[in-house]
Structure 1
């Protein structure tokens, strides 16, 4: 094999280009940011990210409301259980 002439330079350029393409293909397949031709990175854009964030925010607000309601109910149950003086039972009897 002769290392002189333009064919060797073309072969080096082809091998480097093929390596860059394979590297970016593997990175894209596994979700890593891609490199552009100047060495910078380009992140993968998730089209549904804003929709997912909105749905999760709504679900979070709903769950926070439910937790607030449950905390209020637990406070009432604790008050009923820890009523040692019997005041609550007297109030209940008066309401009947």
Structure 2
């Protein structure tokens, strides 16, 4: 893969790991007796790749290219927003 595409997909994977970590409260749900600084450290290590990868010009160019060329699915997005509002 080209640099931009590869970095974009690695960035997407980092986002999924971030969302997974957040959904389990960085592990607090499974290990409630562990001190809080450990979970803070885990959150820093999971958030850092998502943020620091944005300093790459190849990644930013690929994100811009995808935003310009891919169509945004309006109806599914609207249903998701409606579902969030209802819940």
TM-score (norm 2): 0.31
Q: From the CA coordinates, give the structure whose radius of gyration is larger.
A: 1
Judging by fraction of residues, say which structure has more strand. Answer: 1
Bigger relative contact order, structure 1 or 2 (CA pairs below 8 A, ≥6 apart):
2
